[in-house]
Amino acid sequence: MQYIFSVLMMLSLNACAMNDMQSSAMEKNMTDGMIHVESQFSVKQTADRLQTLLSKKGMKIFNRLNHANGAKGVGIELNPMELIIFGNPKVGSPLMQCAQSIALDLPQKALIWQDEAGKVWLSYNDPDYLKQRHNVKGCDKNFAKITKALAGLTKAAAQDDLIIQMGM
């Protein structure tokens, strides 16, 4: 009887260890493929700055969602967070010619959010991750251009001194 009890305990401990390993792997994978830029500004200010920069660069703003306000409407409190959905068909459409499934992740999105410590972040999908996710072939120049543009725009929206450097 003791032997059966010992075996059951070992199986139980192994199951717990596997669950912990799976949870750690899931937490790690949840951030894979995202780029996070710390902002010097509030969520609203960062979102306003990003929207202005995107518009000045000819990007179309498809929508801007305030998730915290939406949650408040159903009695749930969230830290401040806004999502901006934007893009440029001249840039996105050629990617869809290379791999139609990338349309699932386009137009591009930027999430501006405040963490539990009060820091504000601007997060977006890493174009290289999207390229791998959708097995895109033949659009390397497009991805390089998008990667550079997103890095510049998001840093400029999040850091005061970069706005001056970009001449905006």
Inter-residue contact 87 to 108 (CB < 8 Å): yes
| pTM assigned to the model | 0.77
DSSP state of 80: -
Strand residue runs (E) in 40-160:
60-66, 81-87, 108-114, 120-125
3-state secondary structure of 43: helix
d(CA 51, CA 156): 11
7, 72: one domain: no
Residue 57's contacts (CB-CB under 8 Å, 6 or more residues apart) are 149, 153
45, 24: one domain: no
Domain tally for the chain? 2
69, 46: one domain: yes
Which pLDDT value is given to residue 32? 82
23, 72: one domain: no
**119: domain range?**
34-165
Which pLDDT value is given to residue 8? 37
82, 66: one domain: yes
42, 25: one domain: no
Which pLDDT value is given to residue 160? 76
d(CA 123, CA 27): 16
47, 93: one domain: yes
27, 38: one domain: no
Which pLDDT value is given to residue 162? 52
Which pLDDT value is given to residue 168? 45
CATH number at residue 130: 3.30.310.70
What string of pLDDT tens digits covers the 168 residues of the chain? 554 444 334 444 444 444 443 333 333 344 589 999 999 999 999 999 999 999 999 999 999 999 999 999 999 999 999 999 999 999 999 999 999 999 999 999 999 999 999 999 999 999 999 999 999 999 999 999 999 999 999 999 999 765 544 444
107, 119: one domain: yes
